[in-house]
Structure 1
Amino acid sequence: MIPFARLLVRRIALLIALLATVFVVVDLLPGNTARAVLGRDATPDRIVAKERELGLDRPLPERFWDWIAGVLTGDFGHTARGRSINELLADKFPPTLLLGGLALTLAVVASLLLGIWWAARQQVAPSATVIRQGAVRLLQPATTIAAAIPEFVVATLLILVFALAAGWLPAVTITDRSGFPASPDMLVLPVLALAIPQIGWNTRVVRAAMVDAAQAPHVESAVLDGISTRTVLLRHVLPFALPTIVASFATTVGMVLGGSLVVETIFNYPGLGAVLAGSVADRDVSVVASVVALSGAVIMCVLAVADGIRAWSLRGRG
């Protein structure tokens, strides 16, 4: 319990340091928050009055302290345009969570299936079919390419092929009254754009972890005892590979959340991506920091779950 508590405190400290860095970076950006809110025609007197109203005339450390104190009580404050940040996040975070959750689920399921299948056929038998041999050999370059291509490039290619050329799926997202996409097919391309790079990376991780775990002596004994390949993989190999796999999936959560902000902008998806883009344009540091804080809190929760799964999988080992 003590090591876990120390790890939690360390992660919280890192998150606070990251939020402080966000405050500094946004404050150093060219432009003026008050002018961005009031428009180019605002007089100097109005700009000064707006800066005083927003507290921009105070030192940056004091503004950060006031904001972080409010966050600890559940109050993220207000945007430079006067809207409650709590309401803004409550309105825009669920669509982002839906998009990221679907992409993460697809990435986990696909990479597990592909990685385990790849590891089981590490050595392709000469008697294997041509199709099976080709599929195994194709995974090496395919996963490398998928993992190397950024989400925005994948999104652009998907739009070109499936939206513009084939016309099968919409290239932009239209929302209904609930604030979510009006039809399920509008989620397909954004989800794929987020999931494909993570499938490529995690498939390689799963395969490597399974191959390493298969070298354990108890696995060889299970094979010599005549236990079926499926049973050996699921009961004797996968549990030993689980800590590495879970750690990779936990890292994927942060990658998906970060990538979703870019993908949402490309597909005009109604999530935190548009909020973040608008807040950066307004130099609204409170909104930017709030998005980072919320994303960081989600990632910390996932890491805590991953730590629990890892501890469970390592129980009883010396």
Structure 2
Amino acid sequence: MAVELSETGTVTPAPAAAAVVSRRFTTVGTRVAAVIAQRAGLLLLVLALVFVAVDLLPGSAVKSALGRDATAEQIAAREHALGLDRALPIRFATWIKGLLTGDLGTTVRGTPITDILAAKFPNTLLLGGLALVVTTAAAIAGGAVWAMRPRGVAARVLSPATTMVIAVPEFVIATVLVFAFSLGTGWFPAVTITDAAGAPADASMLVLPVLALAIPQSGWNIRVTRAALAEASLAPHVHAAELDGLARRHILLRHILPLALPTIATSLATSVGMLLGGALVVETIFNYPGIGSVLAGSVADRDAVLVASVVALTGAAITLVLLAADLLRAWSVKGRP
């Protein structure tokens, strides 16, 4: 049996391996719960601010929904049916209670919010997912080439190019893409046409929106990947592999990339929020049938419940991705020697 020397000089049995593993899992579980609670609290604060901001907008949501010919009695009846005649804190608390049970309520026009999100959010996830795949591929490929040949032609091109695309907003890139590849060459359509199911009718309609979202995030992530690979290449075992005469590509894939992967994953996870945020502008430009058009319409209608529902859904998706990146980083750090 393993033993250890206590402070009093007596010999006592060492803790069992199972107990040590149990304590480690408990510690990780506590950290995960703390991160989830922190981000849930932040999301709750954002939702409260959304309710307040939409409520402060001029005009009447119900009057906008019913039209100009609506009488005062009709407006008052609809506001009472929707609960809009109650105090803002009460409305917010009621909506939060429904959110926890999966009941998001209805819009000011009487449409169930769950039906709207179920129809539109998958399209946004498709657009954002494809943009994330393109961003990931560009980040790893560009960062690896830059790190392997820091003074090569590719590095001299990537250095200014990534800085430029980071500084240019999505709507500018989307406009340039439309002029170059739609109006100029006619290769891809500039407007998204939907099929009977409400999805893009053709895959070619996804190309320009995906590129408009992916290009700015690719510039940032290429620079992060290059820095992470350069830092990982300084590890002692990487130097030993170089002395052994292993091929540079083998060293990159087997020894450098695994060390840099947590940093790269964290950067890509952060980009998820930027991709979903940029989708609002990009979807509007390309008339894409996603959650961005829903959010734009709900703000115009002063529909606080619908705006908050969109924010809650996208916030939950971003939180899950960031949590997965945090767990990957924690696991990687704990597993290092």
Shift of 1:312: 2.9
- How much is the aligned-residue C-alpha RMSD, in angstroms? 1.2
- Partner residue in 1 for 2:297: 278
Amino acid at match of 2:323: A
Aligned length: 309
- Partner residue in 2 for 1:26: 54
In the superposition, the TM-score normalised over structure 2's length comes to 0.89
Shift of 1:56: 1.3
Rounded to whole Å, the distance in 1 between the matches of 2:289 and 2:36 is: 32
- Partner residue in 2 for 1:197: 216
- Partner residue in 1 for 2:97: 69
Map residues 12-91 of structure 1 onto 2, 5 A cutoff. 12-91=40-119
Shift of 1:41: 2.7
Contact 1:149 1:197 in 2 (8 A): yes
Given the alignment, which residue of 110, 127, 133 partners 1:99? 127
Rounded to whole Å, the distance in 1 between the matches of 2:155 and 2:81 is: 63
- Partner residue in 2 for 1:186: 205
Rounded to whole Å, the distance in 2 between the matches of 1:316 and 1:267 is: 45
Which shows bigger deviation, 81-90 or 50-59? 50-59
CA-to-aligned-CA distance 1:75-106 (integer Å, 9 cap, x gap): 11111111110111101111111111101111
Which ranges in structure 2 are unaligned for 5 or more consecutive residues?
1-28
Question: Runs of at least 4 residues of structure 1 off by over 4 A?
Answer: none
Given the alignment, which residue of 283, 295, 305 partners 2:314? 295
Contact 1:118 1:207 in 2 (8 A): yes
Larger radius of gyration: 2
- Secondary structure, counterpart of 2:334 in structure 1: coil
Rounded to whole Å, the distance in 2 between the matches of 1:230 and 1:315 is: 27
Rounded to whole Å, the distance in 2 between the matches of 1:73 and 1:256 is: 28
Q: What is the percent sequence identity of the aligned residues?
A: 60
Map residues 1-318 of structure 1 onto 2, 5 A cutoff. 1-122=29-150, 124=151, 133-317=152-336
- Secondary structure, counterpart of 1:314 in structure 2: helix
Amino acid at match of 2:91: R
Rounded to whole Å, the distance in 1 between the matches of 2:90 and 2:155 is: 58
Rounded to whole Å, the distance in 2 between the matches of 1:105 and 1:168 is: 22
In the superposition, the TM-score normalised over structure 1's length comes to 0.94
Amino acid at match of 1:311: A
Which shows bigger deviation, 9-18 or 302-311? 302-311
Rounded to whole Å, the distance in 2 between the matches of 1:172 and 1:166 is: 15
CA-to-aligned-CA distance 1:184-235 (integer Å, 9 cap, x gap): 1111000000000011110000001111111222222221121211121122
Contact 1:172 1:186 in 2 (8 A): yes
Amino acid at match of 1:159: V
CA-to-aligned-CA distance 1:110-150 (integer Å, 9 cap, x gap): 1111101110112x3xxxxxxxx332211100111111111
Contact 2:232 2:260 in 1 (8 A): yes
Amino acid at match of 2:101: T
- Partner residue in 2 for 1:129: none
- Secondary structure, counterpart of 1:315 in structure 2: helix
Contact 2:146 2:154 in 1 (8 A): no
CA-to-aligned-CA distance 1:60-82 (integer Å, 9 cap, x gap): 00000000100100111111111
Contact 1:239 1:313 in 2 (8 A): no
